[in-house]
Amino acid sequence: MAHVHVVANQKGGVGKTTVTVNLAAVVADTMGRTAADTPVLGVSTDPQASMLEWAKRVGDELPFDFEQCDDDPRVLSRLRRITKYSHIFVDTPGTLENQPILEEVLRQADDVIVPIEPEPLAFSPAARTIESVIAPSGVRWRVLINNWDPRDGDVDLGQTRDYLAAKRFPMFNTVIRHYKLHARAAAEGVTVVQYAKNRVALEARQDFFRLALEVLGGRGGPAKHAKVNGRATTNGSTNGGNNGGGTNGHARANGRERVNAVSTRGGR
């Protein structure tokens, strides 16, 4: 069974798609066996489909397989039963209206990455998603500080960490820094593993390799009991909806779009 890593925050524009694409890319780039046999599937469940647009622009160079499936809850409910991949990275919508999609995906998740930006206005919406949707799901989750610009100094970063610590929210050690390269990548049709081999690009890429190490390093351990405002949340038997027949290979959905199927997947 695949490990399903979900990237979620109902606040828009915090970097969910950026994190999903680049994390999937570094894991696929590192773990890929052959060009036609990637162990990584990227999934977008966001009706806005910005990950799909990005994946199309990357084309054959996309180092992982990709599925757009936002329109069929039956597909989402089968993610964990996909046996073809070791890791599935799932992008989710940045809106409150699409909460049913997020809730369905969380039932399939092994862990959740919650990106937030180091700026106080972003804190409350992220806390709302965590406290009302993610923590109650019982799935292991951690907050990821994304888009921190070191040129702005450490004050915002420190405040963000203090806020998360006061809330007793578990967080990644890795901070994804702000780089123009990341901001341009979707339009230019590249992922972090295709950036040029110069110092800035290597630093930008390094953040995602560090994150990947934390995400994958955490996957095999015992379920953690993350605390929200002092209340322990349970982990474990919340992955309902996994009963029934198995799905071998790609999820199937009417109207969903698939990019970079195994047979057309290019080299890296």
Ligand X SMILES: Nc1ncnc2c1ncn2[C@@H]1O[C@H](COP(=O)(O)OP(=O)(O)OP(=O)(O)O)[C@@H](O)[C@H]1O
Partner interacting with residue 86 (select from ligand X, Mg ion, none; CB below 5-8 Å by kind)? none
H or E element at residue 42 = strand 40-44
Partner interacting with residue 174 (select from ligand X, Mg ion, none; CB below 5-8 Å by kind)? none
First to last CA, the chain: 25
Partner interacting with residue 99 (select from ligand X, Mg ion, none; CB below 5-8 Å by kind)? none
Q: How far apart are CA 58 and CA 166, in angstroms?
A: 40
Residue 11 in contact with Mg ion, rule: CB under 5 A: no
Return phi, psi of residue 173, to 5°. -70, -35
Residue 13 in contact with ligand X, rule: CB under 6 A: yes
Contacting residue, 5, 178, 250, 256, with ligand X by CB under 6 A = 178
Give the torsion through C-alpha atoms of 20, 22, 28, 34, to 10 deg: 130
The region of 11-19, 101-109, 135-143, 256-264 touching ligand X under the rule CB under 6 A is 11-19
The region of 49-57, 169-177, 210-218, 221-229 touching Mg ion under the rule CB under 5 A is 49-57
Residue 44 in contact with Mg ion, rule: CB under 5 A: no
Q: How far is the CB of 81 from ligand X (least distance, A)?
A: 26
Q: How far apart are CA 268 and CA 254, in angstroms?
A: 30
Partner interacting with residue 176 (select from ligand X, Mg ion, none; CB below 5-8 Å by kind)? ligand X
What track of x and - describes contact with ligand X for positions 94 through 113 (by CB under 6 A)? x-------------------
The region of 3-11, 45-53, 63-71, 149-157 touching Mg ion under the rule CB under 5 A is 45-53
Whole-number Cα distances in Å, 150 to 63, 154, 171, 185: 29, 7, 19, 20
**DSSP of 167-200, one letter per residue?**
TT--EEEEEEEP-HHHHHHHHHT--GGGS-SSHH
Enumerate binding residues for Mg ion (CB under 5 A).
16-17, 50
